[in-house]
Structure 1
Amino acid sequence: MQQRREKDWELAIGPDTVRLFILKAKAISAAVNEDYEDGSEHEIEFDGDVRDNHHHDGLAEEEEEDLTEKELRELIDDLNVDEAAELVALAWLGRGDFDATEWSDAVAEARLRGNRRTAKYLLGMPMLGAYLEEGLEALGA
């Protein structure tokens, strides 16, 4: 059983809120299909050689993905300055830019860089869910 570390900081953003963000970020990442890299994502193979372009007039999963991303963006935009700075600092901590002993430095740096585009910055991180999860773990939250 992992022993919980004694923490000498209080989070402005609740760990449960961060966990919700983690779930949404992972859902967005999971929606990205690996076979889009080869450029034939809309082709269907019928009898081995014949290919036909397959077009959609409104995929439910694409709309759902957009909703998830939109929801996460709105949730991040609704954070106050302290919560947004801590969310960015958690991502940095999880990414390895800082360690738990540098938590206050990470938050201070995030606060200095903070602006109205925090959601865009965070959603641009391909592994945001994993980074936030690792950041929470590093803090013992």
Structure 2
Amino acid sequence: MPNLSISSEQVCYLIVKTREFDAQDVNTDPGDSSNPSDDKMISVLEDHADNPVVQEVQAFIDALSDDEQADLIALMQLGRGDRDIDEWEALHNEAVREYVDRTAAYLLGQPLVSDYLEEGLAQFGFSCAEFESDHL
């Protein structure tokens, strides 16, 4: 079994945060200047340029080492079924070469990224169930 540079807790935290991002919808009324309470606070579910979830995910990922960022990308691709766990080193090395300089943007641009990260982590024998129950 290959070793991960990133902890399972860090991956689980990112899974929770990317689920918050995935739950948001496109900005339906970009010119709206009314009071949020008048709109029944619907804007909190919309994706805006200054989205605090995106900013939080980017800051979290930017604080990781290159190896930890590569692990995130490789976990996502492993969970998506791009390769098998036996090819972990190749996945990790490709992630370092191709994606580390834009990890947050790459991951946030992947539909179902939280599901893929969770599946990739499961292939290493980790689960986020306990983490999610403690942090939600």
Q: TM-score category by the smaller chain?
A: 0.7 to 0.9
Contact 1:94 1:132 in 2 (8 A): yes
Where does structure 1 lack aligned partners over 5 or more consecutive residues?
Answer: 1-7, 43-54
TM-score by length of 2: 0.75
Report which of the two structures shows the higher radius of gyration computed on alpha carbons: 1
Q: Which residue of 2 aligns with 1:10?
A: 3
Q: Which residue of 2 aligns with 1:68?
A: 53
After TM superposition, list the pairs within 5 Å mapping 1:1-141 onto structure 2.
Answer: 8-32=1-25, 55=32, 57=34, 58=36, 59=41, 61=44, 66-141=51-126
Identity %: 36
Where does structure 2 lack aligned partners over 5 or more consecutive residues?
Answer: 127-136
Over 6 Å off, 4+ runs: none
Count of aligned residue pairs for this structure pair: 117
Contact 1:99 1:138 in 2 (8 A): no
Task: Encode CA deviations 1:3-33: one digit per residue, 9 max, x unaligned.
Answer: xxxxx22211000000000000011111227
RMSD: 2.5
State the distance in 1 between where 2:55 and 2:45 align. 12
Give the C-alpha shift of residue 116 in structure 1: 2.1
TM-score by length of 1: 0.72
